[in-house]
Amino acid sequence: MSKIERENLRVVAEKAILAGVQLPRAYIDLEDPFSELRALAQTAGAEIVGELLQKRQKPRGRTYIGRGKVQELADLVKLTRATLVIFDNDLSPAQVKALEEGTECKIIDRSELILDIFANRAATHAAKLQVEIAQLEYTYPRLRAMWDHLGQIVGGAPVGIGTRGPGEKQLEIDRRLVQRRRQQLRGELVTIQKRKAREVAQRNLGHYTVGAVGYTNAGKSSLFNRATAGGAFAHDKLFATLSTRTERWDLGGGNAAMLSDTVGFIRDLPHQLVASFRSTLEEIVHAQLILVVLDVVDPHAEMQLETVSRTLDELGATAQPRVLVLNKIDRLQDSRDLLVWMNRYPEAMPISALKGEGIDELAEIVLEHMLGGIREVRVTMPASETKTIDFLEKRTEVLERDYRNGQAAFRVRMGRRHVDQLLAQGTKMQINGLDPLEAVRREWSLPRPASVLGARAPATRKR
């Protein structure tokens, strides 16, 4: 058997087969048991060339799947020329070894796939550190076991990374090195998280930021691709440091927000991976609006919504409004199912990211939040205030313009944020005949549009 490289477990651009055992009472989509693993593998950048599922009462010890299935998998690997098999279940190092021998193909399990995604998304130093910690805790012991096993195969000679040989003593030393490295990483993290908060604050000055969160497979990336033109801002310096994908969302009328796609929540996340998962979510804490994307056909949608809401609270993402996005309405068999959701969350926005339904309406909701409430008002200023006039023409909906005696009077639909922006550039306007600040007090004093996930005022909801 050819030696299989396990030191480099990158998934991107690999031809991959999805494999797994469906156990009774497993937490999966019965219609499409691989839907989550597929979304994860695609996120990691793999090309999926085959799928193989076995139903069993319990896993079969040495290879997890049955002997016949191992052969079937080996045949499928040959047929599809796959370079990687991704298991939906978590495997022990011994099982990985047995499967690699049986299929002559590299095998990774679900947690290794997730770690690979985190490693790829980890653009910030902080996120990279989190991933390294997770790798130390999860992957390292597995690699150790692999090296030991390889050592036995070639008769005890040192193999694998460097000249590290198997043996109790070496293991002891490694364990202490790992401990020390972990402490060092944790220390670095604290410093970096502080700097990052400053970076994000600066970015929010110039842009309105919207973050999409939800479980894997909910349709966040589909929504992201629908909403953003794609690519336009990918190389913007300001955003290059972010661990999440962020692009421009044109909301119409010259207004745009920056939408961030996150890795997403993952069911049954191994505890070693929780911290790195959270670091991928850190952006969200600083977003000015959060879209909670839910797959309404998922039988666990209700529980997922609870988990997402609780985690956001725990991360401290409590200052900004949240909008509940009910996705995949095209898959609902019975329209009454949607009514149940809408009754419970009347402010939720039903959409189909796949069909493009409801995206424009969602953009309007985002715009309403962004502008802080749109009001029809009369703005007056000297006709020489060209900067203000220019702004009104470009950024607000102008219903009427009237120039006379060196004065300009505009009837416009504008948001509170527009007023702030104009004030920041030193305008000489009046709104409804009043000083702008007084007008804001009168016109915009009503509460902002209610957020869907409840009137969770930050102070009262903090745990």
Residue nearest to Mg ion (CB): 221
Cβ closest to ligand GDP, residue 207 vs residue 220: 220
* Non-local CB neighbours of 300 within 8 Å, separated by 6+ positions: 27
Residues 192-221 that bind ligand GDP (CB under 6 A): 214, 216-221
User: Is residue 92 classed exposed, middle or buried when 0-12, 13-18 and 19+ CB atoms within 10 A define those classes?
Assistant: middle
Q: Binding-site residue total for ligand GDP (CB under 6 A)?
A: 17
Paired residues of 169 in beta bridges: none
* Comparison of 102 and 264: residue with beta carbon closer to ligand GDP: 264
> Measured from the CB of residue 353, what is the shortest distance to Mg ion in angstroms?
11
User: What, of Mg ion, ligand GDP, none, does residue 33 touch, CB below 5 to 8 Å by kind?
Assistant: none
Closest approach of Cβ 353 to ligand GDP, in Å? 4
Largest CA distance in the chain: 98
Nearest to 336 by CA among 314, 344, 123: 344
102 binds, among ligand GDP, Mg ion, none (CB under 5 to 8 A by kind): none
Q: Which of 16, 39, 294, 367 binds ligand GDP (CB under 6 A)?
A: 39
Q: How far is the CB of 258 from Mg ion (least distance, A)?
A: 17
Q: What is the x/- site pattern for ligand GDP, positions 263-302, by CB under 6 A?
A: -x--------------------------------------
- Our CB check for ligand GDP shows the closer of 276 and 352 to be 352
Contact residue for ligand GDP among 209, 318, 320, 352 (CB under 6 A): 352
Give me the residues that bind Mg ion (CB under 5 A), please.
220-221
Q: Report in angstroms how near the CB of residue 41 gets to Mg ion at its nearest.
A: 11
Q: How far is CA 204 from CA 1, 226, 289, 363, 416, in A?
A: 55, 23, 11, 19, 16
- Closer of 379 and 453 to ligand GDP (Cβ): 453
- Between 69 and 220, whose beta carbon lies closer to Mg ion? 220
From residue 299 to residue 338, the character string flagging contacts with ligand GDP as x (rule: CB under 6 A) and all else as - is ----------------------------xx-xx-------
Q: Determine which residue in the list 353, 377, 389, 429 makes contact with ligand GDP, applying CB under 6 A.
A: 353
Estimate the crossing angle of helix 35-44 against helix 110-121, to 10 degrees. Answer: 40
Strands 245-252 and 84-87: unpaired
Q: Spell out the residues 6+ positions from residue 419 whose beta carbon is closer than 8 angstroms to its own.
A: 431, 436, 439, 440, 444
Minimum CB separation from ligand GDP for residue 330, in Å?
5
In the complex, minimum distance from the CB of residue 284 to Mg ion, in angstroms, rounded to a whole number: 14
Shortest spacing between CB 267 and ligand GDP, in angstroms:
12
Nearer to ligand GDP, 50 or 59 (CB): 50
Minimum CB separation from ligand GDP for residue 118, in Å?
Answer: 14
Q: Tell me which of 63, 139, 222, 388 binds ligand GDP, using CB under 6 A.
A: 222
Smaller CB separation from ligand GDP, 148 or 261: 261
Footprint on this chain of ligand GDP (rule: CB under 6 A): 39, 214, 216-222, 264, 327-328, 330-331, 352-354
